[in-house]
Amino acid sequence: MIEVVDLGKKYGEVWALRPTRLRVEDGEFFSLLGPSGCGKTTLLRMLAGLETPTRGEIRHRGVRIDPVASHHRPFNLVFQRYALFPHLDVRGNVAFGLESQRIEAREVARRVEEALQLVQLQGFEARAIHTLSGGQQQRVALARALVNRPAVLLLDEPLSALDLRLRRQMQLELRALQKRLGLIFLFVTHDQEEAMALSDRIAVMDHGEIIQTGKPEDVYRRPRSLRVAEFLGELNRVDGQVVGVDSHSGWLRVRTASGWELRACARQGREPGSYAPGERVAVVVRPECLRPVSGSADAGNVLEAAVEERTFLGATSQLRLRFAGAGAPWLVDLRQGEASDRWEFEPGHAVALELEEPRG
Amino acid sequence: MAETDDRVPALRRLPAQLAWPAGFWLLAVLAVPLGWVVVTSFMARGTYGGVVAAWNLGNYARVVDGLYLKVLGHSLWLSTLTTMSCLVLGYPLAYWLATAGARLKPWLVMAVVLPFWTNFVIRAYAIKVSLGLAPAAWELQNSPLAVWIGMVSTYLPFLVLPCWVALERLDWSLLEAARDLGASGRRVLLQVLLPLTRRGWVAGMIFVATPALGEFVIPDVLGGARTLLIGNLVADQFLMTRDWPFGSALSVLLLAAATLGFWLERRLESSRSAQGSGGAKPRTPLRARLLAVPALLLLLGPLGVLVGQSFVGPGGLTWDWYRAALGNEAVLESLLRSLRVGLGSALLASVLGTAAALALVRSRFLGRPALEATAGISLLMPDIVLGLSLLAWFSSLGVRLGEATIVAGHATLSLPYVILGVRARFQEFDWSLEEAAADLGASRRRIFGKVVLPLLMPAVLAGALMAFTLSFDDFLVAFFTAGPGVDTFPMKIYSMVRFGVSREINALSSLLLVSTLVLALGLNRGLKLTRNLR
Ligand SMILES: Nc1ncnc2c1ncn2[C@@H]1O[C@H](COP(=O)(O)OP(=O)(O)OP(=O)(O)O)[C@@H](O)[C@H]1O
Ligand SMILES: [Mg+2]
């Protein structure tokens, strides 16, 4: 278990990471997710001991380790650009950490072999680094860190340099590896899909602070703020006023400015009962939670709009809709099974939309 | 990940003391002697050739005297002509170097560097021999053309190498963009290529112009000592007329030129626009290759003639010259001395220089700007200034001249090359490698020994090689610091050339040429120098 208490880093007068609290349990795959420049790397580098915190503590199994020099910490970092030693071959790179600890040569050889097996790079021992492909280099970097049997593996966007296919494949491998080894993986990414696919929990960061922590589903479905919601995927937003609370389901009833009535889920961290009737709220709807229906808008969560544009995206199509009267256009995802190519969805036609019942 | 020098993180900081040996050396064997020359330039000449402390500006007044202004004009003209010729001839060659395929490139590099690595006296001599093959009626011997060829072929590499580096770092997709936008080849050259590589060719021009200003041995050997240049004038004041104050004033002029060059280059460096290399390099156009041919001919032609001539005897092909050369003990002795001096000064320069470069990049200390300036200026300073300032300094201290003083002089000569070369490499060092090593449990000592040093080694070795070459090539510094009877190999050849051509020199030079070539190719193989340069 690692625990970060009040940890902050200032460069000059600017907080790269505002004093932050974070706790990661043993065996967790934990992702730090956030836009570029939000302080992910800074946090990771402080954990690795490569950057001195401006304030705060880092604890590992209850023991403070922030005063411990990098090379004595049981944490290993997989660098954003791998940082493989160009003058050493694959074996030399992987063995580097063990040799630093003066481990006996036979043991080193055995563990290097084991680590290379783990990342499926047997037979690459003598290859020079510059002869490896991006994906292979990434595995060497992984093996180089794992061979030391760290308590925590820190990964700084290790997949960002890979193409989509390889990336998917490496994601699966990483996840499997983590399950097998049972280590803490602290994984930095700015790809929300990647974070959600891999992690037990994620922390969403913005402007140097963690703005929400939780299971991927929770964070996705019940964001604590609009910023989190926006960062995790496309969304449609409509402003309205609380009308009341559905007593047995706990859903809020919200009426929008144009007179629609929607049922929505309370924000993470707030009791439905704490919303006073008349309170102004923003309701966000994910594009995949909307379904086109036949019939008119008489039931509660049905909206009517005109198709403005249809975009083919492969497995899905996306409609851009505009409501009479309402401001910003909305996005709706259609699965191919929903006959996304039907003429009703050509630009100019009117459609009725049903909101999926809120969950969670 | 560029980081300003004043914020070196603890992990990467190195002790400033590393700069002390080199700093001390440059102070004692460069700055103080130069200071002494400056002081002398304000003194007067004693009746019997010594200096007397009668402070005056008379020496400088004499410089602008009509007679000497003409000499100054000659030197300026020679320097300008050489610089412009080198630019026109050298840039296409640099372009070819940058765009050549992997197989051709090492050979082209060799073509540029080989003459650079052959003794300049030999080079001059080779030109003499080549021109001697032309019909006598053309009067090529001792002609301005001979001087021009000698100057250009000697200074060409100084221009080609920085241009090549700049072209290698060019973002070639900008060229494609220009083409794509409909620019003609001419416009691409004038409005894209030249502006983007300005750093390279302006630096190259500075590297040629400043030392060329003090050049006089090449015009002497090839032009038959017909025109008086600043260089001769300075040498005469120190060796013949014994008017040291006036000679010093002239040297101060050359030193000022070097300082100006350094300042210009500095400004160039700070005005550099951020630019990443990238884009696909085009195949070298035929036009560029054709334009590069004259430069290659100038660089290699004379050397080819020299080797060929070394087998020609009165009665056809012969080994006689080789036999004679290897039997000439005085020559062999000087050759051995040059090897000794070269190795000694290279060792000294590379150890001091590497340590200083480490400190310059990774620590802050008081004398840092001074150290950088001293190294930068002495790089541009004409050799004669170093030679005579050492002569003046050593003799005023009463140091006995000999092999040791040559080694000292040569170490000073090459120290800046090592410092600046290793520094450049170290500045490009990927700092995350050190972090990776620390993260993997390596102590600072181990990081330095296992990661930093091995990766810097090519630069250190290149610096040492450069130092050896400079020493082996040098005539002037040795000439002034050797003392009587202690001849280095270039000095020996110089005197042989002066007192009539001996065919032995052909043979000996060819031997040296071939050994240089083998050594260079071997090193290239072993160190993958050309690959690491990329
Ligand atoms: N050495 C430094 N000096 C000054 N500011 C820095 C330094 N390193 C990072 N910062 C600043 O701190 C902030 C956080 O940087 P950090 O590298 O942690 O971002 P990140 O979340 O990893 O971004 P990315 O996704 O682009 O990698 C940024 O605004 C950055 O400019
Ligand atoms: Mg980052």
Q: Which residue of chain B comes nearest to A97, CA vs CA?
A: B440
- pTM for this prediction: 0.77
The β-bridge relationship of strands B44-45 and A316-322 is unpaired
Cβ-based burial of A34 (10 A; exposed 0-12, middle 13-18, buried ≥19)? buried
Closest residue by Cα to residue A43 from A6, A84, A81? A6
Q: What is the C-alpha to C-alpha distance for residues A186 and B268, in angstroms, rounded to an integer?
A: 45
Tell me how far apart the terminal alpha carbons of chain B are, to the nearest angstrom.
Answer: 19
Question: Which residue carries 């080609």 as its tokens?
Answer: B160
pLDDT in tens, A5-64: 999 999 989 999 999 999 999 999 999 999 999 999 999 999 998 888 999 999 999 999
Show residues of chain B in contact with A102, CB under 8 Å. none
Cβ of A79 within 8 Å of Cβ of B432? The answer is: yes
Q: How many CB atoms lie within 10 A of CB B233?
A: 21
Instruction: Report CB contact under 8 Å: B454, A87.
Output: yes
Instruction: Round to whole Å and give the CA distance between B304 and B320.
Output: 19
CA contacts within 13 A on the Cβ side of B238: 28
Question: Beta A290-293 vs B44-45: how paired, if at all?
Answer: unpaired
pLDDT value of position B278 = 61
Q: Identify the CA nearest to B152 among candidates B198, B114, B115.
A: B115
Give the residue whose CA is nearest to atom 6 of ligand 1. Answer: A11
Task: Kindly give the distance from the C-alpha atom of residue A153 to the centroid of ligand 2, in angstroms, as a whole number.
Answer: 16
* CB distance B464 to B350 below 8 Å: yes
Phi, psi of B252 (to 5 degrees): -60, -35
pLDDT of residue A214: 94
What does the alpha-carbon distance between residue A190 and residue B415 come to, in Å, rounded to a whole number?
A: 48
B345: exposed, middle or buried (C-beta count within 10 Å: 0-12, 13-18, 19+)? buried
Packing angle between helix B66-99 and helix B286-309, nearest 10 degrees? 110
By the CB < 8 Å criterion, does B401 face chain A?
no
Residue A69 DSSP class? -
> Residue B62 corresponds to which amino acid?
R
8 Å CB contact between A21 and A5: yes
Q: Which of A38, A209, A210 to mutate to test the pocket of ligand 1 (most atoms within 8 A of CB)?
A: A38
pLDDT value at position B302?
A: 85
Residues B443, A100: C-beta atoms closer than 8 Å? yes
Q: Report the alpha-carbon distance of residue A170 to residue B18 in Å, rounded.
A: 45
Which residue has 């170097």 as its token pair?
A: B97
d(CA B218, CA A302): 94
Cβ within 8 Å, pair B441-A71: yes
* Beta-carbon separation of A148 and B441 below 8 A: yes
Task: Show the tokens assigned to B449.
Answer: 């020994």
Q: What is the rounded CA–CA span in Å between residue A19 and residue A39? A: 11
pLDDT of residue B129: 80
Helices (H), chain A: 40-48, 90-100, 105-118, 134-146, 164-181, 192-198, 216-221, 226-232
Distances (CA, A) of B75 to B16, B229, B364: 41, 5, 40
Handedness of CA B388, B393, B397, B402 (dihedral sign): negative
- From the CA of A189, how many Å to the nearest CA of chain B? 19
Burial class (CB in 10 A: 0-12, 13-18, 19+), A262: buried
| DSSP single-letter state for residue A293 | E
Which regions of chain A are under pLDDT 70?
294-302, 325-326, 336-341, 343, 357-360
pLDDT at B3: 38
- Test B436 with A83 for CB contact under 8 angstroms: yes
Which amino acid, B116? F
The tens digit of pLDDT for each residue in B348-393 reads: 999 999 999 988 888 888 888 888 888 888 888 888 899 989 988 8
Question: What residue owns the CA closest to ligand 1's atom 26?
Answer: A36
Q: Judge: B441–A101 Cβ closer than 8 Å, yes or no.
A: yes
Do residues B159 and B208 touch, judged by C-beta distance below 8 A?
A: yes
Which residues of chain B are under the pLDDT cut of 70?
1-11, 49, 116-117, 182, 225, 270-280, 500-502, 520, 523-534
Which residue's CA is minimally distant from atom 18 of ligand 1?
Answer: A39
Residue A209 CA: which ligand is closest? 1
Q: Are B346 and B384 in contact (CB under 8 A)?
A: no
Number of CB atoms found within 10 A of residue A352's CB: 17
| Alpha carbons A34 and A167: distance in angstroms, whole number | 19
pLDDT digits (tens, 9 = 90+) for B225-281: 677 888 888 888 888 878 888 888 889 988 999 999 889 888 877 655 545 556 667
CA B216, CA B533: separation in Å to the nearest integer?
Answer: 33
* Residue owning the nearest CA to atom 7 of ligand 1: A11
Q: By the 8 A CB rule, do B12 and B444 touch?
A: no
Contacts of A52 in chain B (CB under 8 A): 10
B437 touches chain A (CB under 8 A): yes
Q: Which chain B residues touch A138 with a CB distance below 8 Å?
A: none
Query: Can you tell me which residue has the tokens 């195949």?
Result: B283
Sorted by sequence, the CB contacts under 8 Å of residue B454 that are 6+ apart come out as A87
What is the DSSP secondary-structure string of B381-401?
Answer: S-HHHHHHHHHHHHHHHTPPP
Report the distance separating Cα B512 and Cα A136, nearest Å: 47
Ligand 1, pocket residues at CB < 6 Å: A 11, 16, 34, 36-42, 190
The ligand 1 atom at the shortest distance from the C-alpha of residue A34 is 21
pLDDT for A187: 95
What's the token pair of residue B526? 């072993």
Q: Is A82 helix (H, G, I), strand (E, B) or coil?
A: coil
**ipTM score assigned to the predicted complex:** 0.77
Please enumerate residues of A whose Cβ is less than 8 A from a Cβ of B: 48-50, 52, 69-72, 75-77, 79, 81, 83-87, 96-97, 100-101, 144-145, 148
Rounded to an integer, what distance in angstroms lies between the CA atom of residue B89 and that of residue B93? 7
Cα B369 versus chain centre, distance: 22
| Helices B244-270 and B368-380, axial angle in degrees (round to 10) | 110
Q: How far is the CA of A156 from the centre of ligand 2 (A)?
A: 7
Are A268 and A275 a contacting pair, CB within 8 Å? Answer: no
- How far CA A317 is from CA of A287, A295, A336, B13, in Å, comes to 11, 22, 7, 55
Crossing angle of helices B489-498 and B453-473, rounded to 10°? 30
Closest CA to B94 of B36, B42, B158: B158
The DSSP H or E segment spanning A308 is strand A302-312
Percentage of residues of chain B with pLDDT beyond 90? 14
